[in-house]
Amino acid sequence: MDLDKKDHFVSLAKAVACERDQMAFAALFDYFAPRLKSWLVKRAMKPDEAEELVQEVMTILWHRAHLYDPAQSSLSTWLFRIARNRRIDTERRARHQRMDAYEPLFLVTEAPGVDTLFEREERDARVRAALSKIPDEQMELVRAAFFLGQSHSEIASSTGLPLGTVKSRIRLAFERLRRALEEPS
C-alpha cells in the first residue's frame, strides 16, 4: 500500500473517530470489508460466518476509531488484528459449545450388579483396614500429599520435617499399604 493511500485511510479513520463521518466510514467499509472477508475465508471460515465477523470488525471501527493510533500500526494492520482476535474468540466459543458424545457424563452406564457392589465394599474395607495399620506420623503425610494435594516440599515446609524424611515416610506408608493389600483376606 502506498503512502498516499495509507495517509488517506488515517484521515478517514480520524473523520470517523472525531466527526462520526458516515461517508468516511463507508469508504473504509467498501475498501476493507471485502479484504477482511477474503482473508477470513482463506483461514477456513465459512463465507457467512466471515461476513458476520467482518460486520463486527467494522462496527468496532465505527465505535472505537478513536483508539486507532497511526503511530502504532497501519489501519489495515489494526483491523486485521481485530479480525484475527475475533476469529480466535469465535473458534474458542465454538469448541466449548460442541458436545463430545463420548464425554463420560453423557455415556449411559448400567447400574452395577450386586456382586460388583459387594466386591467394591469388600475392597474398600480392605483398603480402610490397611490404612489403619499405617503409623500416624506416616498417615499425616499421606493425607497432606494425596488428600490435600500438597507437594513434598510444601509438606516439609508446613511440618518442619526435612524433605528426605517426608519422602521416605510417604514411601514407607505405601510399602505398608501394598503389603497389607497383597495379604490374602
| pLDDT attached to residue 113 | 81
What is the per-residue pLDDT across 144-155, written as a single tens digit (0 to 9) for each? Answer: 888 888 899 999
Q: Domains of the chain by range and CATH?
A: 3-97 (1.10.1740.10), 114-182 (1.10.10.10)
Cα 179 to chain centroid distance, Å, stands at 41
Checking if the pLDDT of 91 tops 80, the result is yes
Evaluate whether 166 touches 159 at the Cβ level (below 8 Å): yes
The total number of residues written for the chain in this structure = 185
Percent of the chain with pLDDT over 90: 55
Q: What is the arithmetic mean of pLDDT over 70-88? A: 94
pTM of the model: 0.52
Q: What is the arithmetic mean of pLDDT over 25-47? A: 94
Give residue 98's pLDDT band: very low, low, confident or very high (50, 70, 90). Answer: low
Give residue 130's pLDDT band: very low, low, confident or very high (50, 70, 90). Answer: confident
Give residue 167's pLDDT band: very low, low, confident or very high (50, 70, 90). Answer: very high
Phi-psi region of 87 (alpha: psi -120 to 50; beta: other; left: phi over 0): alpha
Q: What is the arithmetic mean of pLDDT over 48-58? A: 95
Q: How far apart are CA 171 and CA 173, in angstroms?
A: 5
Q: N- to C-terminal Cα distance for the chain?
A: 82
Q: How far apart are CA 14 and CA 21, in angstroms?
A: 9
